[in-house]
Structure 1
């Protein structure tokens, strides 16, 4: 809902003066006819050759579409081949039969002048009379003012004879208006004449039309705008801001129940006109926006979004005021809009809890540790995911900390605080990597060839091979390829999540495809475009990149054409981000060091990369089979990976890692049996170890030597006996595993 203060004071804000300074001359006529080629007004001509009228349905103008319907909806190609004569009304009228005369035909095919000559000649046969005429010298005469008519103007009139007659037949309106109406027959036009008595209201709608043209975000047709013009005319208001949006929606909806979905476009244009007018009246910046309960982000400098942050669901005035200060601080300190939305949702839930628990609260002094514990109890009953509930606690904790730190109020108790153990503990999720057989289908040349757009095919390759987020890939710059000192190519992109540039190596196939794409962009936009993937529509100057929404729609169509199936033969579903998970997991399972994977994915911390470092079971087993395993005597233990006991041995080893792992090896004892050796694994025949535990063995060897020395000094015979066996086994284990490690390093 809009601000009542703004609605009541729009006249005092100089809105008319702002409109006069903003609306350009081409949008001010009483009848606005879009210039040819205006994208948002859909001024493409009819598909029929020679017909310049605007296409409306199926690529035909209204006349040819009706003719197509009358013929029984024939095949489009056959109708295009034989559409019949062009519609009447958009061409020159008949001229005088006298070949060198371009006056309009009046009587018996002759103009008024030549018909008088014929009548006075006494000749009855016009054909014979015409042969007696001598050509007159060429004379420069003014032509009819209508652009499509090449007849001479009649007398002092700017129109030919017949167009002059038509002009008189409709009451001789303003000649410029008549010309506009005639020349726009069959074209989309926006008629504002019904608002002649309310010039500001007319300018407001013309301003909306201009904004639609400049923003180039949605097609705009007279079928959506004309009903809105009639609607505001019938309302009796002098400005759109006289009513709020809710009242306009109610007025619009009266008597329209059950109408077609096309009316959604009309209401959308009405809302669009209203919000753009509010933008003009309210101005921009924090001074005008802060005190509103709905912040339009584009007015605060976020020009890439038309989103809104709303505070009207916080019923407590004191909490709403603090929430606004908190969100303003978060935004101006560099936080993203999505984080502000998360914070507001958390504050909304907390405000609803307070309204139910302490309905008469009039300040933050009611928020103590007891209230927060009750809130946590309610939050635990919430059916949302653990991570979502954890975000609520995190946002509220940041809110309380900011209130105290910045001194926004002195009434917030010091006990209003959450502690680390208050946060819900989310379960660790596995990476959502795609199965190998699904990736094999997606990466087939045959399936990649089913992309109808080379732009989207390349974008898909980049997501698969480079692991970018889909938003970062859509916003790649045209000059995104850089080379190092050795000439190796890298893809340079902006990691928008971390707000920094990043690089990832390119293979030759993707590099060649990028070079081809750069050439296509240069051909499409000779003046240049900043984007490797410019938006395919509503983008004549290449200023807008492809949106993730557009790519996701194309991806769904491509997957349907490829018929990708999962292991159960069902249609496979995937999201673009799963390619990033697959990229990271694949690298980990190819033994690429985790630090290298972190750099390629441009993660800030190793913990983020660790999410992808959940090795496939086959990878862990491969390393286990390759590793040399020895017992307490240093003897090598061999297990045939193809033998009948291989699977059982592997299962036991996995179980041992999970339930009986030791600091220096693994227990080979079946888990069902109890250990008779207490803490003496190095003297246990079931003990198994590998070279990865050499550091632990050497450290234990050093400690055992020290222990023996101390025992000998004190004469502790039993302790010496036990540790001599341990030291003996450690010598054999270290000697055996040390030889293996040395051989591996040499290899």
Structure 2
């Protein structure tokens, strides 16, 4: 959690002002240790130029030489008065060749990645650079590359040139040049870097394609910045360790980000305690107090921002850094000889076995994953969400959010129970035919009609990530496909362009290569939560942005419907049954709570002497599935066989509660109607009705008397006591309701 991450190691956690946080975020993608100028050479710049297709190696682009893929990517148009039609143009003239080559390569990369090129901004950037190299300082006039000066220096050179010329131009020109050069230098830094990709302090997968990533990475555009690890030995070793884990697919990109955050805690303590060597202390005998001090610092740390402000770190937030640091040191110990060679630091060979177990078992809090009791949404709540979800797609002038994509994604989340990124990162065409025999699917219009392929980004292995879906889900996907095609056409994508994803990022995504951002989706659902203001049955606000509640609800519904665990496990994409039972726990708690809501009565209308909690345990521990009756439960021991037949209502082993009242009332009505019919038939045949000594009539009358007693007893039982749900205790236990002062009147025996 962001609020529980340490501040940069260069300052005390308690004194860093909150206002500096946005500044750190802006610097996150920069590598202050990487000198771009030192990487440049004319040979490398020429290599970039030669890598472009021949039609893209131009110093200007207009209607006469515009490549087809550039035609729609150039977003600003100028009027061609001679021809009377609109065309795009971009000039790179006036710059020395290496700088022109760099600009042409960066423009090509931007177009190839599906970004739109603002030709007005790019033209102003070129204009500012020309002013700087023609009228700037000696350093600017001698510059051959965009990397010759920092982006701040380029901005100053443009301001100086304008002052010398006393020119009246766009007041934003220096700022545009500064920001534009900054972005271009980020791209060129990775293009010019010939060494191992992991030696850079900033790992940015967007411009640096060497960073290993999965084909579908939810956090693929996030940046890992190692600059905050200010101890050289820790920073270089951490980069080598994490690159090895990433390259061997032991860690995914999001794992690298979390492990780096853990190591920032380590750096935070190093700055406090003082440490200049990888082995932490000079002699093995001094090691034990060092990690113990780190544990104490974590335990006593006060959170400075966020919802837990002023409190202590959560158990999982304290456990994570300890586990990561031990894993890091174990790996460095196992590879200490290679570390000394690769990192050029022989001190890593001084690690000992004591470094592989830095923390005691009791130092690491037990991993907790205690879910709140509102993870499963009530049926009425789900109905309200689906009924109000249309606001996501409604136009803003009608009070909506004007986001059809968010509306379609929410509908899929509710109906399928997939994780958020499994929906947002689905392929554009995620449907497969459902393999069936005969025409069974055609005869059941409400049944499954296809299989949905989703992106399994959390768990590797297991069955292929597909689930069967019905026609309603297919229709939602078709509507989203239509929207995606309309979006690409509006962005000017070439005809026939097929987007990579079904849900698309709407900014700088001309070719549909980037999926809808999860942060944007959370923001939309948060706004929908405020507009709908839904509460559950106990008045708690329902946060629609907690998308995992839809997964818990779907899983619980499947288990509650009697779907076998292994089928639910496959549907949820789990590898082990234990993961699926994590969702079943909610159902078990709900089932027990419902069982204990009602007092249990026997066939003669008396409250059962067995404690309801004990009764619930007995029924489940003995696995008495054959003892569950349509109108109650049978308490006959599991190894005994019932020889009474259908006489549960006159058996002292029968128990029921108010949850079966409708069934019992229906059974009473049916029995009374049956007695009346049989009496009519008996009288017509024998000339007189059956007497009460008739064995059949005596049995039925006994049933009706038992049903009447049970219903009267249930009507007298209150479900709520003192506003709480309580079970009735058995004989000899505390809390048992006292007997009435006057015993109830017993019906006369027939």
| TM-score when normalising by structure 1 | 0.60
Could you say which residue in structure 1 is the equivalent of 2:473? 510
Q: 2:465 aligns to what SS in structure 1?
A: strand
Selected match of 2:354 from 397, 415, 438:
415
Larger of the two Rg values belongs to structure:
1
Could you say which residue in structure 2 is the equivalent of 1:107? none
Could you say which residue in structure 1 is the equivalent of 2:453? 492
Which deviates the most, 387-396 or 563-572?
Answer: 563-572
Could you say which residue in structure 1 is the equivalent of 2:105? 207
Note closer, same or farther for the CA distance 1:40–1:620 as it changes in structure 2 (3 Å cut): farther
Note closer, same or farther for the CA distance 1:372–1:225 as it changes in structure 2 (3 Å cut): farther
Q: 2:40 aligns to what SS in structure 1?
A: helix
Note closer, same or farther for the CA distance 1:213–1:649 as it changes in structure 2 (3 Å cut): same
Selected match of 1:599 from 547, 552, 570:
570
* Alignment pair present for 1:241 and 2:143: no
Offset at 1:614?
1.9
Contact kept, 8 Å, 1:39 with 1:538, in 2: the verdict is: no
Note closer, same or farther for the CA distance 1:556–1:671 as it changes in structure 2 (3 Å cut): closer
Q: What does the per-residue CA deviation read over 1:419-446, in whole Å, with 9 as the maximum and x for residues that have no partner?
A: 4322224461226344544422221288
Note closer, same or farther for the CA distance 1:461–1:364 as it changes in structure 2 (3 Å cut): same
Offset at 1:200?
1.5
Distance (whole Å) between structure 1 residues aligned to residue 148 and residue 107 of structure 2: 20
Contact kept, 8 Å, 2:600 with 2:657, in 1: the verdict is: no
Selected match of 1:42 from 63, 66, 75:
75
Could you say which residue in structure 2 is the equivalent of 1:350? 266
Could you say which residue in structure 2 is the equivalent of 1:374? 293
Which blocks of at least 5 consecutive residues in structure 2 are unaligned? 1-30, 163-169, 304-312, 340-347, 395-401, 442-447, 490-494, 603-607, 611-634, 636-651, 659-713, 740-750
Q: What does the per-residue CA deviation read over 1:285-321, in whole Å, with 9 as the maximum and x for residues that have no partner?
A: xx43233323333342447745433322223322223
Contact kept, 8 Å, 1:386 with 1:424, in 2: the verdict is: yes
Q: 2:237 aligns to what SS in structure 1?
A: helix
* Alignment pair present for 1:318 and 2:233: yes
Could you say which residue in structure 1 is the equivalent of 2:46? 17
Distance (whole Å) between structure 2 residues aligned to residue 590 and residue 254 of structure 1: 75
Note closer, same or farther for the CA distance 1:546–1:341 as it changes in structure 2 (3 Å cut): closer
Q: What does the per-residue CA deviation read over 1:303-344, in whole Å, with 9 as the maximum and x for residues that have no partner?
A: 774543332222332222321221112111211111111112
Distance (whole Å) between structure 2 residues aligned to residue 200 and residue 521 of structure 1: 40
Distance (whole Å) between structure 1 residues aligned to residue 503 and residue 369 of structure 2: 38
Note closer, same or farther for the CA distance 1:538–1:427 as it changes in structure 2 (3 Å cut): closer
Could you say which residue in structure 2 is the equivalent of 1:441? 384
Could you say which residue in structure 1 is the equivalent of 2:316? 387
Offset at 1:475?
2.5
Contact kept, 8 Å, 1:653 with 1:668, in 2: the verdict is: no
Distance (whole Å) between structure 1 residues aligned to residue 261 and residue 201 of structure 2: 14
Could you say which residue in structure 2 is the equivalent of 1:481? 432
Note closer, same or farther for the CA distance 1:420–1:467 as it changes in structure 2 (3 Å cut): farther
Note closer, same or farther for the CA distance 1:347–1:556 as it changes in structure 2 (3 Å cut): closer
Contact kept, 8 Å, 1:31 with 1:192, in 2: the verdict is: yes
* Alignment pair present for 1:271 and 2:240: no
Offset at 1:273?
1.1
Q: How does 1:41-190 map to 2 (within 5 A)?
A: 41-43=74-76, 53=78, 90-91=81-82, 147=83, 189-190=89-90
Note closer, same or farther for the CA distance 1:370–1:511 as it changes in structure 2 (3 Å cut): same
* Alignment pair present for 1:645 and 2:738: no
Offset at 1:349?
1.7
Q: Which has the higher contact order (CA 8 A, sep 6+)?
A: 2
Could you say which residue in structure 1 is the equivalent of 2:693? none
Distance (whole Å) between structure 2 residues aligned to residue 255 and residue 440 of structure 1: 65
Note closer, same or farther for the CA distance 1:584–1:239 as it changes in structure 2 (3 Å cut): same
Q: 1:7 aligns to what SS in structure 2?
A: helix
Contact kept, 8 Å, 2:377 with 2:550, in 1: the verdict is: yes
Could you say which residue in structure 2 is the equivalent of 1:8? 38
Q: Aligned residues, how many?
A: 523
Q: What does the per-residue CA deviation read over 1:141-163, in whole Å, with 9 as the maximum and x for residues that have no partner?
A: xxxxxx45xxxxxxxxxxxxxxx
Q: What does the per-residue CA deviation read over 1:555-613, in whole Å, with 9 as the maximum and x for residues that have no partner?
A: 566667x6453366989652434422332344455565655443322123344334433
Distance (whole Å) between structure 1 residues aligned to residue 32 and residue 547 of structure 2: 38
Could you say which residue in structure 2 is the equivalent of 1:463? 413
Could you say which residue in structure 2 is the equivalent of 1:727? none
Contact kept, 8 Å, 1:241 with 1:274, in 2: the verdict is: yes
Distance (whole Å) between structure 2 residues aligned to residue 357 and residue 513 of structure 1: 58
Q: 2:467 aligns to what SS in structure 1?
A: strand
Selected match of 2:256 from 340, 343, 363:
340
Q: How does 1:656-735 map to 2 (within 5 A)?
A: 669-670=733-734
Distance (whole Å) between structure 2 residues aligned to residue 548 and residue 615 of structure 1: 29
Contact kept, 8 Å, 2:525 with 2:545, in 1: the verdict is: no
Could you say which residue in structure 2 is the equivalent of 1:226? 124
Q: 2:181 aligns to what SS in structure 1?
A: helix
Offset at 1:3?
5.2
Note closer, same or farther for the CA distance 1:456–1:476 as it changes in structure 2 (3 Å cut): same
Distance (whole Å) between structure 1 residues aligned to residue 723 and residue 564 of structure 2: 25
Contact kept, 8 Å, 1:531 with 1:544, in 2: the verdict is: yes
Note closer, same or farther for the CA distance 1:314–1:446 as it changes in structure 2 (3 Å cut): closer
Contact kept, 8 Å, 2:74 with 2:88, in 1: the verdict is: yes
